[in-house]
Amino acid sequence: MSRKLIHDTDQGEYFVGYRDTPKVDRRYLLGLSVLGLGIAGGTGAFLAAKQGGAGLGRWDMGTPVSLTGYLSEAPYPLLRTTGIDGTLRTVLLACDTKCGAQEKLAESRISRDRVTVRGSLIQRGRHVMLAVANDDDWIMPDHTLPARLTGFAEEDLGEVTINGEILDSKCWFGAMRPNEGASHKACAMLCIAGGLPPYFYARDALGRSRAMMLTDPGGEALVQPILRYVADPVRVTGRVHRIEDLLQLRLNPDNLVRL
């Protein structure tokens, strides 16, 4: 029995499922497959090109470090220490997952002043965080430091109205990629709700960027009122305060506008 699907009618070849596919259909399907792969590849390349860079942040999980400095629990847990160049530095503290260090500090019974803290560094440029070690002696008192910390002067830089994005500091510093935008919204909301310091990231028309810690107008922690705005383009109005190397954007959540 012949397997060709050629008939004496003027309708030409046609498809029958249990017989060989006609040549004209094979050519058509092959061309359509090549075209589909080309469109899919081109679309993927276009979307990838439109994504923001992963940034220069890095979490050095394989290199444990110990930092000695002055502990502060407000507005978010942080350590004020001295950098290699001798300048005062602010290092944010976090747990090793999607949470701040508040709960671990609450469980600790040591003096809350001069301490040595162990963990791994997460760093993006001048922004530094320590993911503290997950054991009982991750923080220890250290009385080798002077009893009082001097040099952290606070300066009110005035009111600003800027466009940008609310993001969680840990991921943006380098713990995760992507670490901004809609694809990171759910993760950022979990991190901020878990106590990680929220940051406001803005970029001007010249491509210059700035990231600032978000607080309420009194410089205290700001969490629940901003969660629904996380990772969305927003406009904020607030006052910028500089505390040595740390910038705070102090705002009233009522002044947040989704763009």
The Cα-based distances of 41 to 53, 94, 170 in angstroms read: 20, 40, 33
Q: Please report the sign of the dihedral spanned by the C-alpha atoms of residue 75, residue 214, residue 131, residue 124.
A: negative
Distance of CA 29 to the CA centre of its chain: 44
Mean pLDDT value of segment 186-207: 89
- The last residue of a domain, from among 141, 164, 187: 141
75-98 residue pLDDT tens: 999 999 876 666 788 999 999 999
Q: What's the total number of domains in the chain?
A: 3
| pTM for this entry | 0.76
Q: Is residue 149 part of a domain?
A: no
Residue scoring higher pLDDT (149 or 143)? 143
Q: How far apart are CA 78 and CA 44, in angstroms?
A: 41
Task: Please say if the pLDDT value at position 209 is more than 90.
Answer: no
Q: Which of 114, 141, 168 is the C-terminal boundary of a domain?
A: 141
Which pLDDT value is given to residue 48?
A: 47
- Return the pLDDT at 176: 80
- Does residue 231 lie within any of the structural domains? yes
Structure tokens at 11: 């309708």
Task: Band the pLDDT of 2: cuts 50, 70, 90.
Answer: very low
CATH for 62: 2.40.50
Question: What does the pLDDT look like over 35-75, one tens digit per residue?
Answer: 777 777 666 555 545 544 445 789 999 999 999 999 999 89
Question: What's the token pair of residue 183?
Answer: 């694809």
Its domain, for residue 85, covers 58-141
Are 64 and 45 within one domain?
Answer: no
Q: Are 206 and 218 in contact (CB under 8 A)?
A: no
More confident residue, 126 or 216: 216
Confidence of residue 251 (pLDDT cuts 50, 70, 90): very high
Q: 165 or 108, which is more confident?
A: 165
Asked if residue 24 lies in contact with residue 31, where contact means CB atoms within 8 angstroms, the answer is no
